[in-house]
Chains A and B, each alone.
Chain A
Amino acid sequence: MFKKIKIGVFIGLLLILLVKIINVFQILLRDSEIYHYEKMLGDMIGEVYSSNFVTGIYLDYRLYDSIFEATILFAVATGIIFMVRKDIEMIEHLSIKRIKILKK
Protein backbone atom coordinates (compact mmCIF):
# COMPACT_ATOMS: atom_id res chain seq x y z
CA MET A 1 0.00 0.00 0.00
CA PHE A 2 2.67 2.47 1.12
CA LYS A 3 4.90 1.48 -1.76
CA LYS A 4 2.18 2.33 -4.27
CA ILE A 5 1.57 5.73 -2.62
CA LYS A 6 5.30 6.43 -2.70
CA ILE A 7 5.54 5.56 -6.39
CA GLY A 8 2.51 7.72 -7.13
CA VAL A 9 3.95 10.72 -5.29
CA PHE A 10 7.29 10.26 -7.06
CA ILE A 11 5.67 10.17 -10.50
CA GLY A 12 3.63 13.26 -9.63
CA LEU A 13 6.75 15.18 -8.56
CA LEU A 14 8.52 14.14 -11.78
CA LEU A 15 5.59 15.42 -13.83
CA ILE A 16 5.66 18.77 -11.97
CA LEU A 17 9.40 19.03 -12.65
CA LEU A 18 8.87 18.27 -16.35
CA VAL A 19 6.16 20.95 -16.65
CA LYS A 20 8.43 23.46 -14.87
CA ILE A 21 11.36 22.72 -17.20
CA ILE A 22 9.16 23.15 -20.27
CA ASN A 23 7.88 26.44 -18.83
CA VAL A 24 11.43 27.75 -18.28
CA PHE A 25 12.42 26.86 -21.83
CA GLN A 26 9.35 28.61 -23.19
CA ILE A 27 10.25 31.80 -21.27
CA LEU A 28 13.84 31.60 -22.50
CA LEU A 29 12.71 31.22 -26.09
CA ARG A 30 10.21 34.07 -25.84
CA ASP A 31 12.55 36.72 -24.33
CA SER A 32 15.85 36.82 -26.10
CA GLU A 33 19.10 37.28 -24.16
CA ILE A 34 19.78 40.79 -25.38
CA TYR A 35 16.44 41.98 -24.08
CA HIS A 36 17.25 40.55 -20.63
CA TYR A 37 20.67 42.20 -20.48
CA GLU A 38 19.37 45.61 -21.51
CA LYS A 39 16.62 45.46 -18.92
CA MET A 40 18.96 44.41 -16.11
CA LEU A 41 21.75 46.90 -16.82
CA GLY A 42 19.41 49.83 -17.29
CA ASP A 43 17.71 49.18 -13.96
CA MET A 44 20.97 48.60 -12.14
CA ILE A 45 22.54 51.99 -12.83
CA GLY A 46 19.48 53.71 -11.45
CA GLU A 47 19.16 51.54 -8.38
CA VAL A 48 22.66 50.78 -7.17
CA TYR A 49 24.64 53.84 -8.37
CA SER A 50 27.68 51.74 -9.16
CA SER A 51 29.44 51.71 -12.51
CA ASN A 52 30.78 48.22 -11.80
CA PHE A 53 27.97 45.71 -12.13
CA VAL A 54 29.63 42.97 -10.11
CA THR A 55 29.82 45.34 -7.14
CA GLY A 56 26.19 46.24 -7.67
CA ILE A 57 25.25 42.58 -7.43
CA TYR A 58 27.36 41.51 -4.45
CA LEU A 59 26.94 44.65 -2.33
CA ASP A 60 23.28 45.42 -3.00
CA TYR A 61 21.13 42.82 -4.75
CA ARG A 62 22.78 39.75 -3.26
CA LEU A 63 24.05 41.19 0.01
CA TYR A 64 22.75 38.07 1.77
CA ASP A 65 25.31 36.01 -0.18
CA SER A 66 28.20 38.28 0.80
CA ILE A 67 27.16 38.19 4.45
CA PHE A 68 27.01 34.41 4.53
CA GLU A 69 30.34 34.28 2.70
CA ALA A 70 31.80 36.39 5.51
CA THR A 71 30.09 34.10 8.03
CA ILE A 72 31.68 31.04 6.44
CA LEU A 73 35.12 32.66 6.56
CA PHE A 74 34.57 33.56 10.21
CA ALA A 75 33.53 29.99 11.03
CA VAL A 76 36.56 28.59 9.17
CA ALA A 77 39.00 30.90 10.98
CA THR A 78 37.60 30.17 14.44
CA GLY A 79 37.41 26.45 13.69
CA ILE A 80 41.04 26.30 12.55
CA ILE A 81 42.15 28.22 15.65
CA PHE A 82 40.14 25.87 17.85
CA MET A 83 41.56 22.74 16.22
CA VAL A 84 45.16 23.91 16.04
CA ARG A 85 45.49 25.45 19.47
CA LYS A 86 45.36 22.83 22.17
CA ASP A 87 48.17 24.02 24.39
CA ILE A 88 47.90 24.76 28.08
CA GLU A 89 47.42 28.51 27.69
CA MET A 90 44.23 28.18 25.67
CA ILE A 91 42.76 25.52 27.94
CA GLU A 92 43.51 27.65 31.00
CA HIS A 93 41.93 30.66 29.31
CA LEU A 94 38.77 28.71 28.59
CA SER A 95 38.57 27.04 31.99
CA ILE A 96 39.04 30.34 33.84
CA LYS A 97 36.09 31.78 31.92
CA ARG A 98 33.98 28.72 32.70
CA ILE A 99 34.82 28.89 36.41
CA LYS A 100 33.83 32.55 36.48
CA ILE A 101 30.50 31.77 34.85
CA LEU A 102 29.87 28.92 37.31
CA LYS A 103 30.68 31.10 40.30
CA LYS A 104 28.13 33.68 39.25
Chain B
Amino acid sequence: MEDSKIFSTVSTLIYPFLLMFGFYIVINGDLSPGGGFQGGVIFATSFFIRYLISKKDPFSLILLARIEKILYIFILLFISLSMLTKAEMFTNFIISEEISYQRLFLVALNFLIGLKVTAGVISIISSFIEEGEL
Protein backbone atom coordinates (compact mmCIF):
# COMPACT_ATOMS: atom_id res chain seq x y z
CA MET B 1 0.00 0.00 0.00
CA GLU B 2 1.22 3.47 -0.82
CA ASP B 3 2.31 5.75 1.99
CA SER B 4 -0.38 8.31 2.66
CA LYS B 5 -0.22 10.91 5.41
CA ILE B 6 -3.99 11.09 5.88
CA PHE B 7 -4.26 7.32 6.16
CA SER B 8 -1.45 6.95 8.72
CA THR B 9 -2.78 9.86 10.83
CA VAL B 10 -6.31 8.50 10.93
CA SER B 11 -5.00 5.02 11.74
CA THR B 12 -2.90 6.41 14.59
CA LEU B 13 -6.03 8.09 15.96
CA ILE B 14 -8.16 4.97 15.64
CA TYR B 15 -5.60 2.49 17.01
CA PRO B 16 -5.99 3.02 20.82
CA PHE B 17 -9.77 3.20 20.57
CA LEU B 18 -9.81 -0.07 18.63
CA LEU B 19 -7.72 -1.74 21.35
CA MET B 20 -10.12 -0.43 24.01
CA PHE B 21 -13.12 -1.57 21.98
CA GLY B 22 -11.72 -5.08 21.56
CA PHE B 23 -11.03 -5.36 25.27
CA TYR B 24 -14.55 -4.12 26.07
CA ILE B 25 -16.12 -6.64 23.70
CA VAL B 26 -14.16 -9.52 25.26
CA ILE B 27 -14.70 -8.59 28.90
CA ASN B 28 -18.35 -7.57 28.54
CA GLY B 29 -19.18 -10.54 26.34
CA ASP B 30 -21.54 -12.26 28.76
CA LEU B 31 -23.76 -9.20 29.24
CA SER B 32 -23.92 -7.66 25.77
CA PRO B 33 -23.54 -8.91 22.20
CA GLY B 34 -20.00 -9.97 21.47
CA GLY B 35 -17.65 -12.43 23.08
CA GLY B 36 -14.29 -14.07 22.68
CA PHE B 37 -14.27 -14.68 18.94
CA GLN B 38 -15.46 -11.23 17.91
CA GLY B 39 -13.26 -9.37 20.38
CA GLY B 40 -10.23 -11.44 19.35
CA VAL B 41 -10.75 -10.53 15.71
CA ILE B 42 -11.03 -6.82 16.65
CA PHE B 43 -7.75 -7.11 18.58
CA ALA B 44 -6.07 -8.70 15.56
CA THR B 45 -7.38 -5.90 13.34
CA SER B 46 -5.86 -3.32 15.66
CA PHE B 47 -2.46 -5.04 15.33
CA PHE B 48 -2.88 -5.02 11.56
CA ILE B 49 -3.52 -1.26 11.68
CA ARG B 50 -0.33 -0.94 13.72
CA TYR B 51 1.53 -2.73 10.93
CA LEU B 52 0.04 -0.35 8.36
CA ILE B 53 1.27 2.64 10.39
CA SER B 54 4.80 1.54 11.18
CA LYS B 55 5.52 -1.04 8.42
CA LYS B 56 7.12 -3.37 10.95
CA ASP B 57 6.00 -6.91 11.62
CA PRO B 58 7.20 -7.72 15.14
CA PHE B 59 5.64 -11.17 15.52
CA SER B 60 7.43 -14.43 14.77
CA LEU B 61 5.16 -17.07 13.33
CA ILE B 62 6.59 -20.01 15.28
CA LEU B 63 6.07 -18.20 18.58
CA LEU B 64 2.47 -17.29 17.69
CA ALA B 65 1.65 -20.86 16.67
CA ARG B 66 3.16 -22.12 19.93
CA ILE B 67 1.13 -19.60 21.99
CA GLU B 68 -2.06 -20.67 20.21
CA LYS B 69 -1.30 -24.34 20.80
CA ILE B 70 -0.69 -23.82 24.54
CA LEU B 71 -3.84 -21.70 24.91
CA TYR B 72 -5.94 -24.32 23.11
CA ILE B 73 -4.75 -27.07 25.45
CA PHE B 74 -5.33 -24.75 28.41
CA ILE B 75 -8.92 -24.05 27.29
CA LEU B 76 -9.60 -27.78 26.97
CA LEU B 77 -8.26 -28.39 30.50
CA PHE B 78 -10.22 -25.40 31.86
CA ILE B 79 -13.47 -26.71 30.40
CA SER B 80 -13.00 -30.29 31.51
CA LEU B 81 -12.51 -29.18 35.13
CA SER B 82 -16.30 -29.60 35.47
CA MET B 83 -15.69 -33.35 35.32
CA LEU B 84 -14.19 -33.07 38.80
CA THR B 85 -16.84 -30.85 40.41
CA LYS B 86 -20.11 -31.67 38.62
CA ALA B 87 -19.30 -34.98 36.88
CA GLU B 88 -20.34 -33.48 33.52
CA MET B 89 -18.14 -32.65 30.58
CA PHE B 90 -18.01 -29.12 29.17
CA THR B 91 -20.12 -27.05 31.58
CA ASN B 92 -19.63 -24.49 34.29
CA PHE B 93 -17.42 -25.94 37.04
CA ILE B 94 -18.21 -23.45 39.84
CA ILE B 95 -20.56 -24.96 42.42
CA SER B 96 -21.55 -21.76 44.27
CA GLU B 97 -25.13 -20.54 43.86
CA GLU B 98 -24.28 -16.83 43.60
CA ILE B 99 -24.56 -15.28 40.17
CA SER B 100 -21.42 -13.15 40.54
CA TYR B 101 -19.25 -16.22 41.16
CA GLN B 102 -20.87 -18.21 38.36
CA ARG B 103 -20.20 -15.37 35.91
CA LEU B 104 -16.45 -15.62 36.58
CA PHE B 105 -16.37 -18.81 34.49
CA LEU B 106 -17.99 -17.10 31.50
CA VAL B 107 -15.67 -14.07 31.70
CA ALA B 108 -12.54 -16.21 32.04
CA LEU B 109 -13.53 -18.50 29.17
CA ASN B 110 -14.33 -15.50 26.96
CA PHE B 111 -10.95 -14.02 27.80
CA LEU B 112 -9.05 -17.25 26.98
CA ILE B 113 -10.93 -17.73 23.70
CA GLY B 114 -10.25 -14.07 22.85
CA LEU B 115 -6.50 -14.50 23.40
CA LYS B 116 -6.46 -17.68 21.31
CA VAL B 117 -8.38 -16.13 18.41
CA THR B 118 -6.10 -13.07 18.55
CA ALA B 119 -3.00 -15.26 18.22
CA GLY B 120 -4.56 -17.25 15.38
CA VAL B 121 -5.72 -14.28 13.30
CA ILE B 122 -2.46 -12.36 13.85
CA SER B 123 -0.51 -15.41 12.68
CA ILE B 124 -2.68 -15.63 9.55
CA ILE B 125 -2.22 -11.90 8.81
CA SER B 126 1.53 -11.93 9.40
CA SER B 127 1.98 -15.06 7.26
CA PHE B 128 0.26 -13.21 4.42
CA ILE B 129 2.54 -10.23 5.08
CA GLU B 130 5.59 -12.48 4.88
CA GLU B 131 4.41 -14.10 1.67
CA GLY B 132 4.05 -10.87 -0.30
CA GLU B 133 4.15 -7.22 0.58
CA LEU B 134 0.65 -6.13 1.53
Real binding pair: yes
- Interface residue? B39 (CB, 8 A): no
- Interface residue stretch chosen among A8-16, A22-30, A36-44, A72-80: A72-80
CB distance from A41 to the nearest CB of B (A): 16
**Residues A67 and B75 in contact in the complex (CB < 8 Å), given A52-B30, A55-B35, A73-B117:** yes
Assess whether A52 is in contact with B33, with CB atoms less than 8 Å apart: yes
CB distance from B116 to the nearest CB of A (A): 6
CB distance from A71 to the nearest CB of B (A): 7
Assess whether B92 is in contact with A85, with CB atoms less than 8 Å apart: no
Closest partner residue, chain A, to B103 (CB atom): A49
- Interface residue? B128 (CB, 8 A): yes
Residues of A within 8 A of B32 (CB): 52
- Number of residues from B at the complex interface, CB < 8 A: 38
Q: Which residues 91-124 of B have a CB within 8 angstroms of A?
A: 91-92, 99, 102-103, 105-106, 109-110, 113, 116-117, 119-121, 123-124
Assess whether B131 is in contact with A84, with CB atoms less than 8 Å apart: yes
- Interface residue? B21 (CB, 8 A): no
Residues of A within 8 A of B113 (CB): 66, 70
Residues of A within 8 A of B53 (CB): none
What is the bound-complex CA distance between A100 and B29, given in angstroms? 45
Partner of B128, one of A63, A84, A93: A84
**Residues A84 and B127 in contact in the complex (CB < 8 Å), given A52-B32, A63-B79:** yes
Assess whether B123 is in contact with A81, with CB atoms less than 8 Å apart: yes
**Residues A76 and B120 in contact in the complex (CB < 8 Å), given A67-B79, A84-B127:** yes
Q: Which residues 5-34 of B have a CB within 8 angstroms of A?
A: 29-33
Please give the residue numbers on chain B whose beta carbons come within 8 Å of chain A beta carbons, in ascending order: 29-33, 35, 37, 61-62, 65, 68-69, 72, 75-76, 79, 90-92, 99, 102-103, 105-106, 109-110, 113, 116-117, 119-121, 123-124, 127-128, 130-131
User: Which 9 A-B residue pairs are closest in the complex by CB-CB distance?
Assistant: A49-B102, A77-B120, A63-B90, A55-B30, A84-B127, A49-B99, A84-B131, A73-B120, A77-B123
Please give the residue numbers on chain A whose beta carbons come within 8 Å of chain B beta carbons, in ascending order: 48-52, 54-55, 58-60, 63-64, 66-67, 69-71, 73-74, 76-78, 80-81, 84-85, 93
